[in-house]
Amino acid sequence: MVTVAAVLLMLCALPDPAAAGRNSGLGPWGDLFGVTRPKPRRTAVRASSVPLPKPRPADAPANVPDKATAGSQPPAQSDKPAEQAAVPPPSPPSACRVALTDAIAIAPSIPDIHGAGGCGGEDLVRLEAVVLPDKRQVSVKPAAILRCAMASAISDWIRTDIAPLTASGGSVLNSLDNFDSFECRSRNRVVGAPLSEHGRANALDVRALKLANGQSISLTDRTVSRELRESVLHSVCARFSTVLGPGSDGYHEDHIHLDLMERHSNYRICQWNVWDPLPRIAPLLPAPRPDDAPPRQAVAAKSAGPAEPDTGDSAPPAKKRR
């Protein structure tokens, strides 16, 4: 009896089998018979046991990229803006620019002009003055925007022809009246006409020559010496491919147009009529009748002629030939 009572007392003292099974994982009899749950093995590795690479020595050489992968890497960014990096190097000066020195003309270079409709050009200068052989300067007023070749032709024309011509008249040349140089427009500003040589910076309109004594010589003025105007005409027609003046097309009555337009077979145009001076009194009305003039009746009788004497010849008069 005592043994049975002890067994029952022990069974009542045991914990809930389900809870014990959940906690131990060995069932309700594992603790009864001294069987313990094995402890799980630790698989985590301590951080201190992982080997790390040694630090790079301070005196180690710099890293050199591999030649095989150097081309695939993007280039290093430059400190300069992209616009400056893309600007090509300036082109060398042209032969005309080298020849047009400060001893010939004051003509600084200006950037190329590329306008609408083909306007503009390259190798441009701003012709401010022409330097004569004696170092005096002939101003171009206002300064003319021209191609270097046209500026060189104008400079040589003034130095060789015009300056000696004005000096022979007793005064020295002081300035050139520039009526028009570069202007992006059609010929004679007519809508739909071809591009003018002014639009290509290849033309100059000259209106007058100013002398040091204050005199102004207008090249289209009829009161100016005809000999002087004809001398200018011959000089410009020998140097420029186009010369237009009074009598050419109605657009150049008050100035002279000069350009270096290239044509087939080097064809040239020289249209400038050097008009004679106008009479002092326009012959619009007849001159007044002098006071000592004979009477009008006498004049009328005299104009009829003397009567022919009667010779008695009955032969008819001979017919006049037409």
Per-residue model confidence as pLDDT tens digits over 257-287: 999 999 999 999 999 999 998 777 666 677 7
* Lowest-confidence region among 133-147, 213-227, 262-276, 301-315: 301-315
Q: What's the rounded Cα separation, in Å, for the pair 276 and 227?
A: 10
Give the residue-averaged pLDDT of 168-181: 94
Mean pLDDT of the chain: 81
Q: How far is CA 149 from the centre of its chain?
A: 15
* 77 confidence band (pLDDT: 50, 70, 90): low
Q: What's the pLDDT at 43?
A: 55
Instruction: Report which secondary-structure segment, H or E, holds 231.
Output: helix 226-239
The answer, yes or no, to whether the previous bond of 142 is cis (omega within 30 of 0) is yes
Residue 248 in tokens: 């050419």
**Distance, first Cα to last Cα, the chain:** 192
Give the residue-averaged pLDDT of 236-259: 96
What does pTM read for this prediction?
A: 0.62
Q: What's the pLDDT at 55?
A: 80
Residue 19 burial by Cβ neighbours in a 10 Å radius (0-12, 13-18, 19+): exposed
| Residue 124, pLDDT above cutoff 80 | yes
Question: Which has more confidence, 91 or 5?
Answer: 91
